[in-house]
Amino acid sequence: MNLLAYTVPFGNGFSATLSLEDAIGRRVTNPLEFPLFGVGAEESVFAPLPFTYAGELMPDVVGNLRYAGSWGSVQLSGALHQIRDVSAGLTTVDGVVVPVLNPITGLRNPTFADTHYGFAVALNGQVPLPFLGEDDAVWMSATYTDGAVGYINAGQTDPITDGTISAGPLALPFADAFVDPLSGEFKTNKAYGIAGGINHVWNSAFQTNIFGSWMRFDAPGIASFLVPSTAGTIAAGTAGTVTGLVDFNEYRIGTNSIWTPVSGLNIGAEVLYTRVDPRGRVAVPITNAAGEPTGLFRPSGSGDIWESRLRIQRDF
């Protein structure tokens, strides 16, 4: 990621950093191609509209205030993220780009929705645990975002154009914002969560980590809608399900162990459990044996998945 940063040490463990960072790397969008949007529905369905990010006019402004002492460290940080749109009011029907008409006024929604500013704030801390081991430590992080959901994932450095949070076959859309089909204006989404973990160093060559997190995605009410029970493309039993940008919780817990036989060589194994719990039952598209959409969908509640990884990393 391209950035320009300046850090000022104040002494006594205090420091502050101001950074101008490439905003493109923190963009999260989703095409929002929901089942039944204008297809097979006998009643009006005003689904949230996707948008395309416009060119970058300003970088993300990121800053932090940090203290590090013998007891550990704590950091308060924040970021300002610009959201600009170039395709609100346009949608694709049968491969043809057409204007979106406001269902109340009958006029087309503006091609340019607006410029908004999302933000994120985070509090991180780490405390050593010398009574367990010389290099043992516990850490915790809490993050709140509004219109800048990319900051909930500290490792994101590239734009995500089909943002989803998934567990097994359940994949729920995840995006910075959407366009309100009634007003043609931006609505931002919120995401917040906490994460923490503990690191235990058994000896100079072997360590174990245990970690977990909880995240909440919270979209405005206009972003989700009930699946029409009269639609011709509904599979049996889907009445009362919702689609669109649905509120959900994500839970993760995992552990890994890393062996370092020689300096620069890490061999590790990890086990991770993830659960995604939407608010209400959601509509999930049904695919055929080739993985192609059938035009039908089924209701789904929570989804979960177990994952395991083996990592061999050599640093030179």
Name the residue ranges covered by the structural domains of the chain: 3-314
- Model's pTM, two decimal places? 0.86
Bridge partners of 276? Answer: 250, 303
The rounded distance, in Å, linking the Cα atoms of 32 and 128 is 44
DSSP letters, 99-110, are EPBPTTT-SBPP
Q: Which residues are within 8 A (CB) of 285 and not within 5 positions of it... i.e. 6 or more apart? A: 35, 293, 294, 296, 297
Q: 113 with 86: CB under 8 angstroms?
A: no
Q: Give residue for tokens 């300002």.
A: 80
pLDDT in tens, 210-233: 999 999 999 998 888 776 654 444
Cα 220 to Cα 17, 36, 297: the distances in Å are 33, 20, 24
Instruction: Check residues 175 and 234 and name the one with the higher pLDDT.
Output: 175
Q: Cβ(178)–Cβ(47) under 8 Å?
A: no
Q: How many residues does the chain have?
A: 316
pLDDT at position 27 is: 94
Residue 13: per-residue pLDDT: 94
CATH annotation of 3-314 = 2.40.160
Per-residue model confidence as pLDDT tens digits over 113-135:
678 999 999 999 999 999 888 88
* pLDDT per residue as tens digits for the range 41-78: 445 566 788 888 888 899 999 999 999 998 999 999 99
